Amino acid sequence: MIPAKRLCLSAILLLAAAMPAYAHVGIGTASSFTAGFMHPLSGLDHMTVMVAVGLWAALKGGKAVLAWPAAFVCVMLVGGALGMLHMPLPFVEPGILASVVTLGLLVALAIDLPVSAGVAIIGLFALFHGHAHGTEVPENAGGLEYMAGFAIATLLLHAAGIAAGLSLGIRFRGVARAAGAACAAIGIC
């Protein structure tokens, strides 16, 4: 088996094995930063979208590689602050679900949009993810540390998607697109 395919298959299997772990951190003695860092990693919906943003940015290339992940994190932090302030945002859960399917399809179909259109799409979905993070902050957690934790975890997930997309290159673009299809399927199932 080709090393890139083996790596992708291993990543997919690890994600599939983690599917039952929907519990979120926040109970016990975890630090505020750790609780925030673990939140995006504890839900398959958050993980798949954040990796998909990186994959889609890598497929697009150019300015998108920095602009799309940066837009996601910045708008996610705004959504997180709104959630922490208990400001209502309608359709958070459907918005998160739509993000899983939509971003998966954007990667699977290798949709080539202008960078600004990608920023708008990603920003909208990031608002929902951020709000979910903010509303689920543990009672004893410090807000800024918690936000720093989920922002850094998100950046690392974006970086993993970018690294995977760039390492696959043009020759193995189909593997990245298959990962996008898997992301969309996760949102549908």
- Give the confidence band of 64 by pLDDT, cuts at 50, 70, 90: very high
Specify the pLDDT at position 176: 84
Give the model confidence (pLDDT) of 147-161 as tens digits: 999 999 999 999 999
pLDDT higher than threshold 90 for residue 3: no
Query: Which 3 state secondary structure label does DSSP give 95?
Result: helix
Burial of 36 (0-12, 13-18, 19+ CB in 10 A): buried
Least confident of 7-16, 62-71, 139-148: 7-16
Rounded CA separation 134/36 (Å): 9
pLDDT per position as a tens digit, 13-40: 444 444 443 444 444 456 899 999 999 9
Contacts of 82 by beta carbon, 8 Å cutoff, 6+ apart: 89, 127, 130, 131, 134
What is the predicted pLDDT for the residue at 37? Answer: 95
